[in-house]
Structure 1
Amino acid sequence: MLNWLKNKKHPEFWTNYLNEYENAKHRYVIISVESSGTNPYKDVMLSIGAVGIEKNELCIKDSFEIVFLQYIFNHDNGFSNEFIIESKMPKFIESEGIQRLIKYLKNATIIGHRVDIAIEMINVALEKLDCGKLKNQALDLEIMFRKWKEYSDDKRFSIEEIAHALKIPHENSDLSIEKAYTMGLSFLKLKKYLDIH
């Protein structure tokens, strides 16, 4: 009776993503999702920046950056579209941007600051495209930092505080790619301190 669930036809990009898990290549991707808030059903993604890590080094040529065209959300909430119009970054509607992100991510381990929020936002966008949830493993920088410093789980740290504690130079920026770069440097230090291979 439930055979139609097993034989559900997924979009080609999603089938290709699922097939990536047959490959053993291991890769880390640092991801920064800028959104209008943290509720994946009421808020929207505004931009995504990501950078890959290979052989314990940030690989700038393996980077990803997009701005989502969210004209309806911005209009309905009285926000300006000025930054979207003036931005030189590639701009896509959400469905196309998510497809590009999935093609970029492949089977990488996702690294982020409070990464569960970013993953949930992406999963909600995938749900709209009749896809499943991300299958990627994930590591959270805030959890790694607390573990390294032996802080309790209720202590919260911004990415700026983590970078400062790790003596990583950074500027406060709203650009998701710059945040991803700062997170990448933080991850590499924490990975070393926590002896993660």
Structure 2
Amino acid sequence: MLKNLIKKYKIRKLKDKSFLYLFDEPPKNEFICLDCETTGLNPKKDEILSIGAVMIKDNKIIIRKNFNIFLKSSINTNEESIKIHQIRPIDLENATEPSDAIFKLLEFIGSRPIIGYYIKFDVSIISKYTKELIGIKLPNETIEVSSMYYKTKKRSSEYEFVDLKFDTIMKELDIPELGKHDALNDAIMTSMIFLKLKDKTPAKTTFYTN
């Protein structure tokens, strides 16, 4: 009931009705795994530098169905931030205008659920752009792989610590490591985490209303 009310509210707020496809019934057994590299960790003031995404269909990662793009940024990258995201000014010389990149991303995602590692951050920072461009935040349902992993861990009590670091999950699940701090590679590795965990625990989706 609440979910339907939120959906109707967002459709009313949509500036451009050509994006109504975002609210379509998702294709069966299809997901988009997504990762963003950003100038920082504050969605309100930081910007996206690159987005990588890959499609999962029928329990297979469709590598040829990938999305990989650099975005122009108004924030100058400094030495400290480069150490984190490893994106240099030269990498952004032929970057895409943010509006064009976001429109292409929305077309790639469609109405499919979005998978990620701490996906709430990625959705929040993408939504900063979509709110300005089409009037609403990203409406897709999301699946958090760290939550899936957490549910597979046997604990002696509810207070027992579970290490949810990305590297720890990768090692525990015996997933090969691709190049780090590359949005597409991170999306592919997260896809592998999802597929490893999918049969161990139901992939509960979270519908973000903010």
The TM-score bracket by the shorter chain reads 0.7 to 0.9
Please, what TM-score do these two structures have when normalized by structure 2?
0.77
Counterpart contact for 1:115–1:139, Cα < 8 Å: yes
Select 1:131's aligned residue among 108, 130, 135: 135
Which residues of structure 2 form unaligned runs of 5+? 1-9, 205-210
Taking a change above 3 Å as real, the CA distance of residues 103 and 84 of structure 1, as seen in their structure-2 partners, is farther
Distance 2:193 2:178 in 1: 14
Amino acid at match of 1:165: E
Shift of 1:7: 6.8
CA 1:24–1:122 in structure 2 vs 1: closer, same or farther (change >3 Å)?
A: closer
Task: Give the secondary-structure state (helix, strand or coil) at the position aligned to 2:76.
Answer: helix
- Tell whether 2:27 aligns with 1:25: yes
SS in 1 for 2:75: helix
Aligned-partner residue type, residue 157 of structure 1 = L
Q: Which amino acid aligns with 1:36?
A: T
Structure 1 equivalent of residue 146 of structure 2: 142
Alignment of 1:64-79 (within 5 A): 64-70=67-73, 72-74=74-76
Aligned to 1:164: 171
Task: Give the aligned partner of residue 57 of structure 1.
Answer: 60
In the alignment, which of 65, 82, 88 is matched to residue 83 of structure 1? 88
Q: Which residue of 2 aligns with 1:179?
A: 186
Task: Tell me the C-alpha RMSD between the 2 structures.
Answer: 2.9
Which shows bigger deviation, 169-178 or 137-146? Answer: 169-178
**Is 1:110 aligned to 2:114, yes or no?**
yes
Report the CA distance between 1:84 and its aligned residue.
Answer: 4.5
CA contact (8 A) 2:118 2:144 kept: yes
1:47 equivalent to 2:50? Answer yes
3-state SS of 1:91 partner: coil
Q: Contact between 2:22 and 2:139, CA under 8 Å: does it hold in 1? A: no
Cα distance, 1:6 vs structure 2: 8.5
* Whole-Å separation in 2 of the counterparts to 1:92 and 1:139: 28
- Name segments (4+ residues, structure 1) moved above 6 Å: 5-9, 78-82
CA contact (8 A) 2:175 2:192 kept: yes
Q: Secondary structure at the match of 1:74?
A: coil
Using the size of structure 1 for normalisation, the TM-score is 0.82
Q: How many equivalent residue pairs?
A: 187
Letter of the structure 2 residue corresponding to residue 10 of structure 1:
K
